[in-house]
Amino acid sequence: GEEPLQALVREVAEETGLRVTHAELLFDEEVMGNHCGYGIDTHHWRLYRVVVEGELNPDPREARDMDWHNLSGKQFEEVWEYWFKKLSLL
């Protein structure tokens, strides 16, 4: 029942311990071919550029492997490769 921006702020806080101070919507679209455990192949994505405050303090129940990574030479799920290329990160 939340608005997308409210969910973004809450989820970032829950999963990382960081506070969102600014958010800019970059993309709002449906992406096909992103199969999940519920049997759904199309998902609606909203990608934001955010500014955050605080110290990174991931909740282990919410985030498995939160860290900074070099994207060069890595293998990604198809949907992440799609977004990284769209963002000109790959």
Average pLDDT score over the chain: 88
- What digits encode the pLDDT tens for the residues 4-32? 999 999 999 998 999 999 999 999 999 88
**What does each C-alpha distance from 80 to 11, 30, 77, 84, 86 come to in angstroms?**
19, 14, 5, 6, 10
State the average pLDDT over residues 58-85: 81
pLDDT of residue 9: 97
State the average pLDDT over residues 78-89: 88
What pTM, to 2 d.p., does this model score? 0.76
